[in-house]
């Protein structure tokens, strides 16, 4: 079981170290893009492993604004807590790509937890990542300003989806200003203002539908400086 580091605690979940013994117990489901597979209050009948594709977990505020709470990419599992103890699901879950999910029945998971230590440790590791991620994100919300959080969001996306291209880092995934706002739970007008500022400072570009970070180190240095600004 590999050690976790602070880089594991982000809103993007992938490569959850799931043993083949657990995956082999499941059945493959083919789910089309933009399919809502669960809503708040549902009781899960199966544990899911993302074999291919991606999903968003999200909720709506009392004003009707969407807030994305997690991105579940290939290699991640979800609903482990709700599934094990039959707790109602707190969020909507929707595929953002055509996805292949492996579903595992409750009885199969319980039997493996009782007989296979690697499965038990993998579930515990996944739960730990999700718990500590929420702690990190709460700390970020309480102690850092919006501009710092947007810079951090761009850096995290670069770590997960970045491609080196012409001495820049291309964020090779579909990102809109509304998407950033939904992830951070902030007003879109604020997001637009910060993004325009970062463009003027030549820290980022937007070309052919993709964001580019011109120099990761410069962006990180600028972000660090925000901690000391008033």
The yes-or-no verdict on residue 226 having pLDDT over 50 is yes
pLDDT of residue 8: 55
- Report the chain's mean pLDDT, rounded to a whole number: 90
User: What per-residue confidence (pLDDT) applies to 138?
Assistant: 87
Q: Which two tokens stand for residue 146?
A: 């919006």
| The pLDDT of residue 230 is above 70 | no
Residue range 145-194, pLDDT digits in tens: 999 999 999 999 999 999 998 889 999 998 999 999 999 989 999 999 99
Instruction: Specify whether the CB–CB gap between 65 and 140 falls below 8 A.
Output: no
Q: Can you give the pLDDT at residue 9?
A: 54
d(CA 84, CA 120): 12
The pTM of the full predicted model, rounded to 2 decimals, is: 0.87
Q: What is the DSSP string of the chain?
A: -PPP-GGG-SSEE------HHHHHTSEEEEE-TT-EEE-TTPPPSEEEEEEES-EEEEEE-TTS-EEEEEEE-TT-EE-HHHHHHTPPP-SEEEESS-EEEEEEEHHHHHHHHHH-HHHHHHHHHHHHHHHHHHHHHHHHHHHS-HHHHHHHHHHHHHHHHEEEETTEEEE-S---HHHHHHHHT--HHHHHHHHHHHHHTTSEEEETTEEEES-HHHHHHHHHHHTT--
Handedness of CA 85, 88, 94, 98 (dihedral sign): positive
pLDDT the model gives residue 41:
96
For position 4, what pLDDT does the model report? 41
- Overall average pLDDT of the 64-72 stretch: 91
140's tokens: 């970020």
pLDDT one-digit tens code per residue, 15-53: 767 889 989 999 999 999 999 999 999 999 899 999 999
* pLDDT digit string, tens, across residues 104-156: 999 999 999 999 999 999 899 888 888 888 888 888 888 899 999 999 999 99
Domains of the chain with CATH codes: 6-141 (2.60.120.10), 144-226 (1.10.10.10)
16 or 77: which leads in pLDDT: 77
């Amino acid at each position: 079981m590999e050690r976790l580091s602070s880089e594991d605690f982000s809103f993007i979940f992938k490569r959850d170290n799931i043993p083949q013994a657990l995956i082999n117990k499941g059945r493959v489901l083919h789910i089309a893009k933009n399919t809502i597979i669960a809503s708040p209050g549902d009781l899960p009948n199966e544990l899911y492993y993302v074999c291919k594709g991606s999903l968003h977990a999200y909720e709506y505020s009392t004003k009707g604004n969407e807030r994305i709470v997690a991105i579940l990419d290939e290699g991640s599992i979800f609903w482990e807590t709700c599934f094990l103890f039959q707790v109602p699901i707190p969020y909507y879950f929707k595929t953002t790509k055509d996805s292949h999910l492996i579903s595992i029945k409750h009885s199969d998971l319980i039997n493996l937890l009782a007989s296979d230590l690697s499965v038990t440790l993998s579930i515990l590791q996944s739960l730990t990542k999700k718990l500590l991620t929420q702690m990190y994100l709460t700390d970020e919300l309480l102690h850092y300003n919006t501009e710092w959080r947007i810079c951090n969001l761009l850096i995290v996306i670069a770590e997960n989806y970045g491609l080196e291209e012409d001495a820049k880092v291309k964020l090779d995934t579909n990102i809109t200003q509304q998407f950033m706002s939904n992830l951070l739970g902030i007003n879109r007008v604020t997001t637009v203002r910060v993004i325009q500022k970062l463009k003027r400072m030549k820290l980022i570009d937007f070309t052919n539908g993709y964001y580019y970070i011109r120099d990761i180190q410069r962006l990180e240095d600028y972000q660090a400086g925000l901690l000391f600004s008033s």
